[in-house]
Structure 1
Amino acid sequence: MTIIEQPDKEPIFKKRSLVRVPIRLGADVFLGGEISKENIDRMIDTMTAFKLLMTSHKIETYRACATSAMREAKNGEEVANTILKKTGINIEIIDGNDEAAIIAATDLHNLIQSDKNYLYVDVGGGSTEFTFYASGKTIASKSFKLGTVRLLDDTVVNSMWEDVEKWIKTTTKPYTKIELIGSGGNINHVYKYSGKTIGKPLSYFYLSSYYQMLNSLTYEERITQLNMNTDRADVVIPAMRIYLSAMKWSRSSKIFVPKIGLADGIVKSLYNDRLKQS
């Protein structure tokens, strides 16, 4: 990502490249407790490729963060050390609170209005991060072990849903005019499919109808009829369930879908750290 600084204005963050490699470590960890030899080898190959891409793009600073699957894996630290030795890339295993804080630092000033309140929901494979904004300020952030891969593997207990519901209702109860902000590959796909103009929100009714349509299709039909990637066609259903639940519990009737997420928060945190040092 390139950062363009402007006198007396907010900096502009522009993506140079976005490369996604869906290894799905959670499929190992949430069921077996550790990362498999096959996926360790895939991670080493992937990190080697990313290092070459960084060299090609002349990247000056980077931060590699591992989230839910790596922090829960029995061999997470061992795998991180192996990758460091093999590739030279230092992977930082961050906890849920760090993850939520990084996402909360994401640049949302173009979207958030001071007279409205927002619940930001970032859905991942192993966890979902929630951040609540009111009057343009961050009020609360929380990470829960509620993710798409966990739901597919049926490793989420009912009490986790109850904890999320309680947190959202308690946090948002004193406020009105609450709208959702959703990030993650699944909601981005749904937004693209909707044909909405950039900046326009999706309604609860649209998302609910889309969710029902997804459930009416087989895995293969989601790939062929909705043009989904094979690694998206299964996790999209539990992802929509999380977004719809968050909308219901926060009394939100619409969801905005800017193209932001954990990666954007990491870049902004690196930029802010550099400003502090200068």
Structure 2
Amino acid sequence: MKLAAIDVGSNAARLLIKEIRPISRNEVDFIKLNLVRVPLRLGFDVFETGLISERRMAHLIDTIRAYQLLMNIYEVNHYIACATSAMREARNGDEVIARVREQTGVSLQIISGQQEASLIFENHIAEHLSKSKSYLYVDVGGGSTEISLFSKQKQVFNASFNIGTIRLLHQQIGDAQWNELKQFLKKQIKNREVIIIGSGGNINKIFSLSKAKPGKSLSIDLLKNYYRRFKNMTLEERMHRYQMREDRADVIVPALEIYLNIMRWSGAHEILVPQIGLADGLIDHLYREIARQSTSGK
């Protein structure tokens, strides 16, 4: 069986296609077949004007149409398609959804910040780690940051904050928003010793640059060093020296600022980077729903 997930974020739209191979009754392999990312940057419109422009809407429709063709080529059996922060806030979000459905046949669902945090948590990474430790899932996007705490093999909370890389680039995050996140973390974490599980394109890029081995964590000092280094470079220098696309080179600095603040306020000294994201959680969620319906005979 082949499953696909479309994640329309504030910075980019992604298509992830996986083949699902059951190994035993309780074990399933998820084999990545393809991952495509297109930098639509919907948040650049929405967080400034409150609307998705005709130009970006046309790019989104073309992108979804291309994703639909790829799903056909890969003979995908089922797919799920979601939109996050930018679409949540766009005053013409419903119109965009309707036009995408009309012109591509793909039904996009706008999900809440809480749903987004839960779906990222669906990857269940922490369940395979130490049972005695606490893990804080942190997914930094263009428009929002989702966090979930997993302690003693139980989910304690999941939450979403409108603090994202594009908002920071546009200087739309004030002290009150930072303080809300800080106080929330201090209250919820309390005396727990936590390890961060980071997801999203920016922390994945840092992990690749660090040349750390899979499964190894990154220290807060390493992230501080990258933050200082990148902040002292021009956009063009980051792009040239580290072979980054422009849409990665501009948001990686605010992304590191968000991760570092969360690490400081939660007392975390290291971050695990399993190189997963919302699209992975969407496919996990879709598979579980299909399996549940199959078991119940629906």
- Which range, TM-score by smaller chain? over 0.9
Distance in 2 separating the partners of 1:110 and 1:67: 26
Q: In terms of mean alpha carbon deviation, does 109-118 or 260-269 score higher? A: 109-118
Question: By percentage of residues, which structure has more strand?
Answer: 2
Matched position secondary structure for 1:58: coil
Aligned with residue 121 of structure 1, among 131, 138, 150 = 138
* TM superposition shift of 1:8: 3.8
**Residue number in structure 2 paired with 1:221:** 237
Distance in 2 separating the partners of 1:117 and 1:109: 8
Which amino acid in the other structure matches residue 145 of structure 1? Answer: N
**Residue number in structure 1 paired with 2:85:** 68
**Residue number in structure 1 paired with 2:7:** none
Matched position secondary structure for 2:249: coil
Distance in 2 separating the partners of 1:53 and 1:62: 12
Q: Contact between 2:144 and 2:160, CA under 8 Å: does it hold in 1?
A: yes
Q: Contact between 1:66 and 1:91, CA under 8 Å: does it hold in 2?
A: yes
Q: 5+ residue gaps in structure 2?
A: 1-17
Per-residue CA deviation, residues 209-232 of structure 1 (Å, 9 max, x unaligned), is 111011111110000011111111
Q: Contact between 2:126 and 2:135, CA under 8 Å: does it hold in 1?
A: no
Q: How does 1:187-206 map to 2 (within 5 A)?
A: 187-206=203-222
Which amino acid in the other structure matches residue 105 of structure 1? Answer: E
**Residue number in structure 2 paired with 1:93:** 110
Distance in 1 separating the partners of 2:165 and 2:89: 16
**Residue number in structure 2 paired with 1:167:** 184
- TM-score, normalised by the number of residues in structure 2: 0.91
* TM superposition shift of 1:157: 2.3
CA RMSD of aligned residues (A): 1.1
Matched position secondary structure for 2:78: coil
Distance in 1 separating the partners of 2:75 and 2:63: 18
**Residue number in structure 1 paired with 2:27:** 10
* TM superposition shift of 1:111: 4.6
Which amino acid in the other structure matches residue 190 of structure 1? Answer: I
1:107 matched to 2:124? The reply is: yes
Distance in 2 separating the partners of 1:126 and 1:10: 35
- TM-score, normalised by the number of residues in structure 1: 0.97
Q: Contact between 1:132 and 1:139, CA under 8 Å: does it hold in 2?
A: yes
Distance in 2 separating the partners of 1:111 and 1:218: 40
* TM superposition shift of 1:101: 1.2
Distance in 1 separating the partners of 2:275 and 2:231: 25
Q: Contact between 1:128 and 1:143, CA under 8 Å: does it hold in 2?
A: yes
Distance in 2 separating the partners of 1:39 and 1:107: 34
Matched position secondary structure for 2:204: helix
* TM superposition shift of 1:97: 1.0
1:181 matched to 2:197? The reply is: yes
Per-residue CA deviation, residues 232-277 of structure 1 (Å, 9 max, x unaligned), is 1110000000111111011111101001110011001111111221
1:267 matched to 2:295? The reply is: no
Q: In terms of mean alpha carbon deviation, does 125-134 or 165-174 score higher? A: 165-174
Q: How does 1:150-165 map to 2 (within 5 A)?
A: 150-165=167-182
Which amino acid in the other structure matches residue 288 of structure 2? Answer: N
Which stretches of structure 1, 4 residues or longer, exceed 6 Å deviation after superposition? none
Distance in 2 separating the partners of 1:171 and 1:46: 40
Distance in 1 separating the partners of 2:126 and 2:173: 34
**Residue number in structure 1 paired with 2:224:** 208
**Residue number in structure 1 paired with 2:45:** 28
**Residue number in structure 2 paired with 1:142:** 159
Matched position secondary structure for 1:188: helix
Distance in 2 separating the partners of 1:98 and 1:215: 33
Q: Contact between 1:112 and 1:136, CA under 8 Å: does it hold in 2?
A: no
Matched position secondary structure for 2:28: strand
Distance in 1 separating the partners of 2:191 and 2:221: 24
